[in-house]
Structure formats: C-alpha cells, structure tokens
Amino acid sequence: MKTASLTGRAAVVSLALLFSLLVAWHLATRDTGTAQRMDPEYAKLMGVTATQGKSAMPGPIDVGAKLWEHLRRPFYDNGPNDKGVGIQLAFSIARVLTGYLLAILVAVPVGFLIGMSPLMSKALDPFIQVLKPISPLAWMPLALYTIKDSSLSAIFVIFICSLWPTLINTAFGVASVRREWLNVAKTLEVGTLRRAFTIILPAAAPTILTGMRISIGIAWLVIVAAEMLVGGTGIGYFVWNEWNNLSITNVITAILVIGIVGMLLDLMLARLTRLVTFPE
C-alpha cells in the first residue's frame, strides 16, 4: 500500500514537471517578435524567421502536431530518400540488433575466457584497455575503406561499441563467482565445461546482463551518429535530412522518438536481468 502511494505521488510530480516544462517551452517560443519592415516583393522571397522575426525554435504545439503527423503514417515510402519514421526506425533497429547480437556472441565467450583464466586476463588486458576508449565513430572511415559497404560499416561500428561493456562485465562476473561454490564443484570433480555452464553462468548471469544492458544503450546512442555520417536510411539519416532542411520541428520530433525507442530497448534488457537475478 505504501509503495503504491509512492508510485502515485511520483507520477503526480512527473506530470507536474512535464506540464510546467511544456508551459515554459510554449511561453519561450510564443513570442513572434516584431515584424521587419520590408519591401513586399523582397519579403515574398524571405522566410518567416526573417520577415516576422519569428523564433526558429518551434513550440510544443508545433512539435505535437508534427509528431502526430509522423505517427499517423509511419510507413510511407516516397522513394529512397524520403521514407516514414517507422521505416527509418526499423532500419536503425535492425542495424543495432545485428551489430549488438554479433557483439554478444563474441563478448560473452571471450569474457568467460578472461574471467576463468588469469593468464588470458593479463595477456588481453592491454588490448582491451587501448581499444575500449576509442570513439566508435573513429572506426567509421577505416570501416568504410576496408569493408567497402556503408551498411556493413554501420553494423561494424555498432559491434565494436557494444563489445566492451559486455566483455568487461562478463569477465568481472565470471572472475567474482564465489570461491566456495567453485570449491564445492572441485570436490565433486565437475568438468570445466560443466562447471562453466552449471555454476559460473547462472552465478555471473546478472552481471553479464547488466553489461548487455549498458551495451544496448551505447549501441542505440551510436547508431544515430553513425547514420548521420553515412546517410541513406535510418533514424540518424532522418535527423540529418531534416537538419539539412533546418526543420527544428522535425529534429525535435525525431529526438523524442529516439528517446522512446532507447527507453524500450533498455526496459527489455532490464526485464531480462530481473529474470536471472537470484537472492543470495
């Protein structure tokens, strides 16, 4: 009962914050400024920001209308350079998931290896330390040059950026499985493989999934930047294309959509983490 009322009160505060934010935003952008005096023939050639001194920043109502417009027909396809937000999101999500799953396929086994073998841990450490802090986008020119395919390059960039958190968390999780459990396994003469799957994996699973959760977050952060760089398709391209048109309304709409999808991806991983968590 206590928690329910806490959630309820939190929701009220959230809504109040949202409301005041929208009102402040609306008030800040409502000002149309003073109309410039111009020759009508000249004024006809100019945009509203120049003629009426209107702020280039859209208000919440403009953005809401735009958002509704995009959500109403998310899957339109007017040729290769103009597709609906839904299609663009699908492209982005497909890229993220491909790169991410590949990264997990590599990161978890390698993490196990590092966690179980102190020798490998020491030997691979310098490589990981050097490669980890590299901005994923710095790989882009190299990827374009060697892979020779912009779509695969974007996937590669996602792969490389989602690799490290999972790898490091897996190694950490595996290395910090409680000694007693391993000792029990040793007394019972359990083989290495069986030990890995029946004892270490369940014990390290929460840590591994936390790593995977961080990875998907980073992957979603990076895809937008990567797509802005190579263009073509995806939500990042959509942002770039609307920036090209200096349409702040569309850019804000896209930002909202990106945030919501990122949140959903994170929620999914959070659910999974909860499934494998165990009480000590």
Partner 1 sequence: MRAVFPADKGRRAFLQSLGASAALAALSQFFPLKTATEIFAAGGPIEKKDLKVGFIPITCATPIIMAKPMAFYEKQGLNVDVIKTAGWAVIRDKTINKEYDAAHMLSPMPLAITMGVGSKSIPYTMPAVENINGQAITLAIKHKDKRDPKDWKGMKFAVPFDFSMHNYLLRYYVAEHGIDPDQDIQIRAVPPPEMVANLRADNIDGFLAPDPVNQRAVYDGVGFIHILSKEIWDRHPCCAFAASKEFVTETPNTYAALLKAIIDATAFAHKPENRKQIAEAIAPANYLNQPVTVVEQVLTGTFADGLGNVKKVPDRIDFDPFPWQSFAIWIMTQMKRWGQIKGDVDYAKIAEEVFLATDTAKLMKEVGLAPPPATSKTLVVMGKTFDPAKPEDYLKSFKIKKVV
Q: Which is nearer to partner 1, 154 or 218 (CB)?
A: 154
Q: Which is nearer to partner 1, 125 or 149 (CB)?
A: 149
- Cβ distance 133 to 161 under 8 Å? no
Q: Which tokens go with 220? A: 């979603």
Task: Work out how close the CB of 61 gets to partner 1 at its nearest, in angstroms, rounded to a whole number.
Answer: 21
Task: Work out how close the CB of 28 gets to partner 1 at its nearest, in angstroms, rounded to a whole number.
Answer: 18
Q: Which tokens go with 130? A: 């050097």
Task: Work out how close the CB of 56 gets to partner 1 at its nearest, in angstroms, rounded to a whole number.
Answer: 7
Task: Work out how close the CB of 64 gets to partner 1 at its nearest, in angstroms, rounded to a whole number.
Answer: 20
Task: Work out how close the CB of 45 gets to partner 1 at its nearest, in angstroms, rounded to a whole number.
Answer: 4
Q: Which is nearer to partner 1, 29 or 150 (CB)?
A: 150
Q: Which is nearer to partner 1, 216 or 230 (CB)?
A: 230
Q: Which is nearer to partner 1, 39 or 280 (CB)?
A: 39
Q: Which is nearer to partner 1, 22 or 147 (CB)?
A: 147
Task: Work out how close the CB of 275 gets to partner 1 at its nearest, in angstroms, rounded to a whole number.
Answer: 40
Q: Which is nearer to partner 1, 46 or 71 (CB)?
A: 46
Task: Report the alpha-carbon distance of residue 206 to residue 272 in Å, rounded.
Answer: 9
DSSP the chain: -HHHHHHHHHHHHHHHHHHHHHHHHHHHHH---PPPP--HHHHTTS-HHHHS---SSPPHHHHHHHHHHHHHSTT-B-STT-B-HHHHHHHHHHHHHHHHHHHHHHHHHHHHHHHH-HHHHHHHHHHHHHHTTS-GGGGHHHHHHHH--HHHHHHHHHHHHHHHHHHHHHHHHHHTS-HHHHHHHHHTT--HHHHIIIIIHHHHHHHHHHHHHHHHHHHHHHHHHHHHHH-SSSHHHHHHHHHHTT-HHHHHHHHHHHHHHHHHHHHHHHHHHHHH----
Q: Which is nearer to partner 1, 3 or 78 (CB)?
A: 78
Locus of tokens 């882009």 = 140
Residues that bind partner 1 (CB under 8 A): 38-39, 41-42, 44-47, 49-50, 56, 78-82, 141, 144-145, 148-150, 228-232, 237, 240-246
Q: Which tokens go with 177? A: 């499985």
Task: Work out how close the CB of 25 gets to partner 1 at its nearest, in angstroms, rounded to a whole number.
Answer: 20
Task: Work out how close the CB of 39 gets to partner 1 at its nearest, in angstroms, rounded to a whole number.
Answer: 7
